[in-house]
Structure 1
Amino acid sequence: MSRKRAIWLSIGGVLLVVLVVAMLVFQPWLLFVDDEVDEADDDSRVVGTASAGLTQTEAPSADGSQATRVELASAEFIDAEHGTTGTATIYLRSDGSRFLRLTDFETSNGPDLHVWITDRRSGGDCEGCFDSWGIYDDGEHVGLGELKGNVGAQSYEIPEDADLADMRSVVVWCDRFNVAFGTADIT
């Protein structure tokens, strides 16, 4: 084999390895595939909006045999690095547990997406600065788990010991690339 051919085969091999690694890291096919979920809403009845917002800890009393809940906060998603729409609502149930409900939700599909409640304000913290959508892991956050689907209604239990008093936004976070896909202001 000639030296020139060996060089070209080596370059081709390196490029192939780089391409395979890039495909595994970026997973570009996810941009063309929606992961739809249609999770049923909680069966408790909404009886109002909390007067103390996220800091309310006193649960509404159960209405006879049916469990009830109050809305602690609700907000529309805004775009971050990817177009994101829908509503994020945090509820307090009559048994004292809390959960986040996403309705009419849609964002881009991506690798390693998670749902967080953070102490950073929705929309980034620095107008026009570099990486304003990557600041949500710089402070405190409550992880609620992996995003169940990039399209559709879904619910996430909030840990019992989570302190929401200083939390300001719900974030769909891409852990692999440290960037927010979308945020909702819950203050």
Structure 2
Amino acid sequence: MGRVRRASSRPVGVVALVLTVVVAVAGLYWFQPWKLWQDETVEEALPGVEAPATPTTGPAEDATPSASTPSASPSTQPSEPPSSPQTLAGGELISHEHTTTGSVRLLRLPDGSHIVRLENLDTSNGPDLRVWLTDAPVKEGRAGWHVFDDGAYVSLGKLKGNKGDQNYRLPADVDPADFTSVSIWCDRFDVSFGAAELGRT
């Protein structure tokens, strides 16, 4: 009587193991769960703030204006651009998918450029987080998690850290008056971690 040969299940087991490893690695890369326990703190100074000049005085006779040199009145002095950043709008961050606190300010710098500044930011870390300037309303709860890519938005770059004070420059061709909110946006999963309404000052 001939011997019956049974097909080995080893190749099937090897393929299943390889597929399991591939799926696990892809899942780790996609979700990056370890970031939830990693904090990145960034502390950036407010740009465009100049230290006050130290007044210098010469000899006593130079400190007193001569009678023949009238001092300029305030109405005749030329106007100068502000020497410090001007706050145009601001608001407090609210939580969306992750607990998020801190404040946001939209600033015009002395050179005429604009930045969004995050102050005292505290949110969760995560994959592919961005700072978005948008025209979407800021809504509480799950209703506000996914609205920020429904209308106009500008990505100001990757979130530098999930904690601290940070500056994000607006492109020169972007009019800040067209936007009303800022979102900490997870671009990988299309969800807001937190957002702030920009109330005009």
TM-score, normalised relative to structure 1: 0.80
The Cα shift of 1:70 comes to 1.7
Query: Residue 81 of structure 2 corresponds to which residue in structure 1?
Result: 62
Which letter maps to 1:99?
A: I
Decide which structure has the larger Cα Rg and report it: 2
Distance 1:88-1:116 versus aligned 2 partners, 3 A rule? same
Which letter maps to 2:46?
A: D
Query: Residue 123 of structure 1 corresponds to which residue in structure 2?
Result: 139
Structure 1: stretches of 5+ with no match in the other structure: 46-59
The Cα shift of 1:32 comes to 0.9
The Cα shift of 1:75 comes to 0.6
**Post-superposition CA distance 1:124-154 (Å, at most 9, x none):** 6xx765xx41221121012211111111111
Report how many residues are paired: 166
Are 2:152 and 1:140 aligned?
yes
The Cα shift of 1:44 comes to 2.4
TM-score, normalised relative to structure 2: 0.75
In the alignment, the residues of structure 2 paired with residue 137 and residue 128 of structure 1 have an alpha-carbon distance, to the nearest angstrom, of: 15
- Spell out the pairing of 1:94-105 with structure 2 (5 A cutoff): 94-105=110-121
Divergent runs of 4+, >6 A: none
In the alignment, the residues of structure 2 paired with residue 70 and residue 158 of structure 1 have an alpha-carbon distance, to the nearest angstrom, of: 15
Query: Residue 108 of structure 2 corresponds to which residue in structure 1?
Result: 92
Query: Which of 53, 62, 73 does residue 89 from structure 2 map onto?
Result: 73
Which letter maps to 1:116?
A: W
Structure 2: stretches of 5+ with no match in the other structure: 1-5, 51-78
- Whether the 8 Å contact between 1:61 and 1:68 is mirrored in structure 2 is no
Are 2:130 and 1:114 aligned?
yes
Are 2:12 and 1:7 aligned?
yes
In the alignment, the residues of structure 2 paired with residue 69 and residue 9 of structure 1 have an alpha-carbon distance, to the nearest angstrom, of: 63
- Whether the 8 Å contact between 2:185 and 2:193 is mirrored in structure 1 is yes
Which letter maps to 2:118?
A: L
